[in-house]
């Protein structure tokens, strides 16, 4: 594939990734805030529940909007298992980060910084491993 046509497609997919991410983040943060600040659930549990709901939403939106037509696996179940692998690793990474950061700052700020750190991890994993572009063997 021509590199000149790949760059605009890559930019469009990243923009769509960020747009979907806003909705996923709203779901994640909304549940986190509700569970931690209203229902007084421990930070780690509120984080895992919010993250899990947002991850389900994320898969559906990324499959049908962000990376639509880019998966080599078609309607196969394989992309979902790959998505679970990336998402599980991201949840583990983000859980460690939020636990460490919460010792030094408000839980809400720790959650924001955790999101910023895991953004590129998630995009790279989804883009390179789950929803691969045709012609990209990276």
SS (H, E, C) 21-81: HHHHHHHHHHHHHHHHHHCCCCHHHHHHHHHHHHHHHHHHHHHHHHCCCCCCCCCCCHHHH
Within-domain flag for 32: yes
What are the structure tokens assigned to 120, written together?
Answer: 């590129």
Number of folded domains that form the chain: 1
pTM for the full model? 0.75
Domain-located, residue 35 = yes
**What pLDDT is recorded for position 45?**
95
Task: Dump pLDDT digits (tens) for 59-77.
Answer: 888 888 887 755 555 566 7
Cα–Cα distance, 96 to 115 (Å, whole number): 12
User: Tokens for 58?
Assistant: 């994320």
Q: Is residue 136 part of a domain?
A: no
Residue 38 belongs to a domain: yes
pLDDT for residue 137 is more than 70: no
How confident is the model at residue 128, as a pLDDT?
87
Half-sphere exposure of 34 (CA within 13 A, CB side): 10
Sign of CA dihedral 93, 65, 63, 24: positive
Q: Is residue 138 part of a domain?
A: no
Q: Write out the residue range of the structural domain in which residue 123 sits.
A: 3-130
Please report the pLDDT score of residue 38 as a whole number. Answer: 96
DSSP, collapsed to helix, strand or coil, labels residue 18 as helix
**pLDDT at site 127:** 83
- Can you tell me the mean pLDDT for 122-132? 84
At 17, is the secondary structure helix, strand, or coil? Answer: helix
Q: Is residue 98 part of a domain?
A: yes
pLDDT per residue as tens digits for the range 3-54: 555 677 778 878 888 899 899 999 999 999 999 999 999 999 999 999 999 9
Average pLDDT, the chain: 84
Assigned domain for 94 exists: yes
In a domain, 137, yes or no: no
Amino acid 73: pLDDT: 52
Per cent of the chain over pLDDT 70 is: 86
């Amino acid at each position: 594939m021509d590199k000149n046509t790949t760059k605009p497609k890559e930019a469009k997919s990243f923009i769509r990734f960020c747009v979907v991410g806003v909705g996923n983040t709203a779901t994640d943060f909304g549940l986190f805030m509700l569970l931690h600040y209203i229902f007084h659930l421990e930070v780690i549990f509120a984080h895992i529940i919010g993250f899990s709901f947002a991850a389900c939403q994320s898969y559906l939106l990324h499959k049908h909007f962000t990376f639509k037509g880019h998966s080599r696996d078609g309607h196969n179940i394989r992309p979902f298992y790959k998505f679970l692998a990336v998402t599980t690793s991201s949840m583990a990474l983000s859980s460690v980060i939020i636990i460490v950061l919460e010792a030094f700052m408000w839980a809400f700020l720790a959650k924001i910084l955790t999101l910023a750190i895991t953004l590129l991890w998630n995009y790279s994993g989804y883009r390179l491993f789950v929803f691969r572009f045709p012609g990209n063997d990276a």
